[in-house]
Chains A and B, each alone.
Chain A
Amino acid sequence: KNEVEQSPQNLTAQEGEFITINCSYSVGISALHWLQQHPGGGIVSLFMLSSGKKKHGRLIATINIQEKHSSLHITASHPRDSAVYICAALSYGTGTASKLTFGTGTRLQVTL
């Protein structure tokens, strides 16, 4: 079992729909990142969360530390949101290296 699991793996939505992508992790973390990768493109960091909720435009990220679960929501989805969304768990190392563990990503396709 991977230390970081994302669901769904693939998601197709129509423009305007509300989208939720989930990330569950089994490791202790100091922070969780949500990243975006457009087809053939580079990585863009969307959020870093250690507790609660953050919002940026139409994107909302939440985290529940007790349940070891985070969600990324996209409101009023648009075709330009089509991308792979990746969560990454950052484990703080005391005396050892900090460690990033990545989920396999959720491929989102938003159609007109």
Chain B
Amino acid sequence: DGGITQSPKYLFRKEGQNVTLSCEQNLNHDAMYWYRQDPGQGLRLIYYSQIVNDFQKGDIAEGYSVSREKKESFPLTVTSAQKNPTAFYLCASIPPGRANTEAFFGQGTRLTVV
């Protein structure tokens, strides 16, 4: 079955360390997205990519980096410059734009920085 796989589900890191969150999809979607969720807030867009080797900053990109070397993969690196990295991170993908299109979601990664 096609879908999005995020790993790991839970991740613990020490303050000051970079950490990379994985997002893989086998849906052949061009567009992939990373979102962050903080308690009591809606999910906010960090980065998105519409095509391989291209990506754009979202609303809260500071302290994060991404790459899109393959269509299937869109890893997110939380760098030491991110002041409050502890959060829930969600990856999503959307098929080529058309009406009635459906987004697909990973299960999410819960990152705790201690």
Contacts and interface: CB of A to CB of B under 8 A. Distances in A.
Contact of B98 (A4, A92, A100): A92
Interface string A78-112: 00000000101010111001101011110000000
Given A43-B106, A48-B103, A97-B31, 7 more contacts: A33-B103, A90-B101, A90-B103, A92-B97, A92-B98, A100-B92, A102-B42
A29 B68 CA distance: 27
Contacts of A45: 104-105
Given A42-B108, A98-B97, A31 B103 contact: yes
Contacts of B107: 42-44
**Interface size grouping (class) on chain A:** 20 to 34
**Interface size grouping (class) on chain B:** 20 to 34
Q: A30, A48, A103: which has the most chain B beta carbons within 10 Å?
A: A30
Interface stretch (B16-24, B33-41, B73-81): B33-41
